[in-house]
Structure 1
């Protein structure tokens, strides 16, 4: 029997708990953690747990010819990619699991080494996952615990015994987040020393990892570093009285804008900025948005904080976009220069992923189309000071679902006409995404370009130049550093694919996203 206890480390830690009975599917939790919560100088503790090892559904001492009550195995890797575990007489199945984990984790290990992240890997057999996770949390004081989707039933017990944030995987790149019960005090002003660093290199398309260039940083000292929509109890129902308090009785000072008969107010709730959309009585857009957004959960979609429908009053509440929209950031020269090519490419990947989720991955209710994809409808959420220093949750959010709709609305029977109509609507989103890529590439606003150019649309200006290979004429001239220029060319290829798409050659968001990421096979088909 081998017992292991981990001494406290000067590094901050993130614990990833995975089902050891699964193989590569369980790597989604580690992949998400490296993309979303791990920062430079952290320690990632990977726990592969099997409570049903050797005896089905048993979390008790095992009988394998030797007396084993629990096994902790530390896996060691070599820089050449050949893992070597310390020899232990633990049985053939344990050795097989060790080798399997070494092979599956080797790419993540190399990525961690490259980005100055320490990775510790352990296998535990014979213990329930919550016992192992809680004991490890008590030893290492983690900032986050990330649970494999197969272990979500253990979240409640773990959360009751730890004081950190918990994420539970719902699918690839999608997690349900539960914040720690005591958020840090302070105000909501984002600063450079309250950020988490996240990045992805263009030549590593498999996952995001903490940037080597980012500065080490402290935990955000703000109650709103974690948006309301991701906290316990949200989204929730609000009363008219609560909304009046939030908006100072819906005063003109709190009114941000009026658009298509929808009034948008700003306010403060629980020391956190929020946006309140006020809809006219019996406005179907309210009910459509409420039905859709109450079922949608994605890190890059503006999730609901709450709703209110009392009498003639219809309201939806959202997290406030503290750092403005993508359009505003592109229009301001100083802010645009702080969005280098890799950051713009990262925005393209994340928003493309949110559209793929809406089109292809929504299980509850079916496929959704947004129908209004553009830079004014992408905003940067709170807790972020620049595009190269990204806080949690990831700051790029697709918003404004006033035009969104389900493709299979009310489960109506499909026929050739509805299939064709649905395909056309998805195509509208793909073309909208292509226009968003042009905005990222050129640094221009599609909404304002027509007025500034005598009626010519941004696509009418950019598309002929890109098709003729005059890419330099379209690239944002404010970005002088061309170190990561190749990711801009990925976006150019994807934009051409989106905007050339027609009824005879339709393209899905998965295909577009593969081109944005620079997948060689997808690019070769362009």
Structure 2
């Protein structure tokens, strides 16, 4: 798996301004003083790292027990992900790019760069990276409680957990769009499998391989990447990239949190129906009880459901100009009543009842 001829990656490493910025950091041995990341299992977070570190291949090999099957966490389009433990006790998730992966060095480099700036409690921390010949490895802090996708479809989240995950995910996106150093960052691939959870059900955004910097107000046009069902209409139609495409994707995830439904399902006539097609008329009729995951029964807060449904409806507007910012979405979800009234009057008068 880890053999192959010398590629051009090393020469790219030498010239890349992204990689040149990264250095080993003396804080690696201070993990024992770090605060808890998850109270449920006692995992700590390394908050002392200011820049991503460059790990040696031997360090990652040792941490993962030579990439043993027992440490394999999963496999996707990017490659394999392994759990590991550094010599100071820090638990890691090492994501190793497949040699045949369509996500090449550009995506690898983008993820290193973006996550070097994105330090937030709702964003997975990139601890560092490793480059060896044609092997590229991203080293993340280990997030202990699987993904939102697993908990939505293989488990049952209670209502309070769902709402907390919605708010935390929205805050992570707000940070990327409005608070990150430099320009806004567009994630471009928000979906439940890219939201990881701690045992305290704190959501953390991950997988930034498709992320884009937004340097000005001029829309970016690019090839279409991401996951069908979560892609905004303008992105599908002409490749237009703006922060609004993340807002749209969040609206889909929000409907999934409320309903427990997959992004595309078959109805009784075996006709495939998108989540948006199913949810919008229900919200417009204010029949919000029809949105609720039946596994929850009556165990949900009607007022909070109302706020979440309104936020989702606004996020899913076909016209990107009509979608709220993620800062506005956070206030909607947290039920900032004054702001809520003004926003609803502006964007969705029928919901002002």
TM-score normalized with structure 1 length: 0.50
The aligned counterpart of 2:106 is: 284
CA distance in structure 2 between the aligned counterparts of 1:366 and 1:415, rounded to whole angstroms: 11
Tell me if structure 2 keeps the 8 A contact 1:307–1:315: yes
After TM superposition, list the pairs within 5 Å mapping 1:231-310 onto structure 2.
231=48, 235-269=52-86, 270-280=88-98, 283-310=105-132
Unmatched tracts of structure 2, length 5 or more: 1-29, 222-233, 345-353
Tell me if structure 2 keeps the 8 A contact 1:375–1:445: no
CA distance in structure 2 between the aligned counterparts of 1:378 and 1:418, rounded to whole angstroms: 25
The aligned counterpart of 1:62 is: none
Q: Deviations over 1:252-292 (max 9, x none)?
A: 44333332243222223344432111125652110000011
Q: Does 2:320 correspond to 1:498?
A: no
- Does the C-alpha gap of structure 1 residues 429 and 405 become closer, same or farther in structure 2, counting only changes over 3 Å? same
Q: Does 2:167 correspond to 1:315?
A: no
Offset, 1:251: 3.4
The aligned counterpart of 1:346 is: 164
Unmatched tracts of structure 1, length 5 or more: 1-177, 196-219, 388-394, 409-413
The aligned counterpart of 1:87 is: none
- Does the C-alpha gap of structure 1 residues 511 and 320 become closer, same or farther in structure 2, counting only changes over 3 Å? same
> Is the radius of gyration larger for structure 1 or structure 2?
1
- Does the C-alpha gap of structure 1 residues 299 and 182 become closer, same or farther in structure 2, counting only changes over 3 Å? closer
After TM superposition, list the pairs within 5 Å mapping 1:56-135 onto structure 2.
none
- Does the C-alpha gap of structure 1 residues 416 and 428 become closer, same or farther in structure 2, counting only changes over 3 Å? closer
CA distance in structure 2 between the aligned counterparts of 1:468 and 1:417, rounded to whole angstroms: 34
Q: Deviations over 1:64-105 (max 9, x none)?
A: xxxxxxxxxxxxxxxxxxxxxxxxxxxxxxxxxxxxxxxxxx
Offset, 1:514: 1.8
CA distance in structure 2 between the aligned counterparts of 1:321 and 1:432, rounded to whole angstroms: 22
Tell me if structure 1 keeps the 8 A contact 2:316–2:323: no
Offset, 1:507: 2.5
The aligned counterpart of 1:327 is: 149
The aligned counterpart of 1:406 is: 213
DSSP-derived class of the 2:93 partner: strand
- Does the C-alpha gap of structure 1 residues 236 and 362 become closer, same or farther in structure 2, counting only changes over 3 Å? same
- Does the C-alpha gap of structure 1 residues 350 and 423 become closer, same or farther in structure 2, counting only changes over 3 Å? farther
Tell me if structure 1 keeps the 8 A contact 2:108–2:136: yes
How many aligned positions are there?
293
- Does the C-alpha gap of structure 1 residues 267 and 449 become closer, same or farther in structure 2, counting only changes over 3 Å? farther
Tell me if structure 2 keeps the 8 A contact 1:327–1:445: no
| Deviation larger for 503-512 or 368-377 | 503-512
DSSP-derived class of the 1:276 partner: strand
The aligned counterpart of 1:160 is: none
- Does the C-alpha gap of structure 1 residues 275 and 451 become closer, same or farther in structure 2, counting only changes over 3 Å? farther
Q: Deviations over 1:38-83 (max 9, x none)?
A: xxxxxxxxxxxxxxxxxxxxxxxxxxxxxxxxxxxxxxxxxxxxxx
Q: Does 2:248 correspond to 1:431?
A: yes
CA distance in structure 2 between the aligned counterparts of 1:263 and 1:404, rounded to whole angstroms: 20
Tell me if structure 2 keeps the 8 A contact 1:265–1:275: yes
CA distance in structure 2 between the aligned counterparts of 1:300 and 1:510, rounded to whole angstroms: 14
The aligned counterpart of 2:286 is: 469
CA distance in structure 2 between the aligned counterparts of 1:416 and 1:372, rounded to whole angstroms: 21
Tell me if structure 1 keeps the 8 A contact 2:54–2:128: yes
Offset, 1:375: 1.4
CA distance in structure 2 between the aligned counterparts of 1:259 and 1:182, rounded to whole angstroms: 31
Offset, 1:423: 7.5
CA distance in structure 2 between the aligned counterparts of 1:455 and 1:354, rounded to whole angstroms: 32
CA distance in structure 1 between the aligned counterparts of 2:124 and 2:338, rounded to whole angstroms: 32
| RMSD of Structure 2 on Structure 1 (CA) | 3.2
Tell me if structure 1 keeps the 8 A contact 2:147–2:195: yes
DSSP-derived class of the 1:489 partner: helix
The aligned counterpart of 1:122 is: none
Tell me if structure 1 keeps the 8 A contact 2:251–2:316: yes
Q: Does 2:197 correspond to 1:375?
A: no
DSSP-derived class of the 1:275 partner: strand
Query: Greater share of helix residues, 1 or 2?
Result: 2
Offset, 1:358: 0.6
- Does the C-alpha gap of structure 1 residues 361 and 312 become closer, same or farther in structure 2, counting only changes over 3 Å? same
Q: Which runs of 4+ in 1 moved over 6 A?
A: 419-423, 450-453
DSSP-derived class of the 1:299 partner: coil
